Amino acid sequence: MSYWRLHYHAIWSCKNRAPLITPELEPELYKYLRGKGLELGAIMHAASGIEDHVHIVFSLPPKYAIADFIGKLKGASSHWVTHVLHYPGDFEWQRGYGVLSFGDKNLPTVIAYAQNQKEHHQQQTTHEAMEKWSEEDDGSRI
């Protein structure tokens, strides 16, 4: 295998920024995102968020396309929440997402940022670049 170090931070929201991620759903959803990410070939460093959006930090080998990985992760997780957990009502993600790449040196900082989302939002210490995403279509049809 070739040498690679490709780290990413991704963010996406619930459809219409609805607060669908309840305290009961949170631990199961983040556990599922980490497990599914591993299954899809990534090294998962963090999955966290608040009631209306998630952050994931992952490393992805260059043989995988980021858009495909995120599309599959979003599709599988919304299907799992709806059909396996039987979430009351409609659980859907928005169509778009935001993703940033970063180096080894910043990995611990980005992981901590993702893991401490509630505190960052409560204390208004969010990082603007890591809170951006697009509402536009991401092209996925999962």
pLDDT tens string 61-91: 999 999 999 999 999 999 999 999 988 888 9
Residue 141 lies in a domain: no
pLDDT reported for residue 136? 52
pLDDT reported for residue 127? 45
> Residue 26 sits in a domain of what CATH number?
3.30.70.1290
Residue 97 lies in a domain: yes
- The parent domain of residue 27 ranges over 7-131
Residue 140 lies in a domain: no
pLDDT of 39 higher than 60: yes
- What are all long-range contacts of 26-33, with beta carbons under 8 Å and residues at least 24 apart? 28/85, 29/54, 29/77, 29/81, 30/54, 32/77, 32/80, 32/81, 33/73, 33/77
Residue 61 lies in a domain: yes
More confident residue, 136 or 28: 28
Residue 139 lies in a domain: no
Residue 26 lies in a domain: yes
Q: With CA atoms as reference, report the closest residue to 51 among 75, 16, 86.
A: 16
pLDDT of 142 higher than 90: no
Which band of pLDDT confidence, cut at 50, 70 and 90, is reported for residue 1? low
CB 61 within 8 A of CB 11: no
* Domains identified in the chain, total number: 1
pTM of the model: 0.84
More confident residue, 88 or 39: 39
Which band of pLDDT confidence, cut at 50, 70 and 90, is reported for residue 114? confident
Residue 89 lies in a domain: yes
Q: With CA atoms as reference, report the closest residue to 117 among 129, 104, 130.
A: 130
Residue 142 lies in a domain: no
pLDDT tens string 115-132: 887 665 555 554 454 454
- Listing DSSP states for 105-116 in one string gives GGHHHHHHHHHT
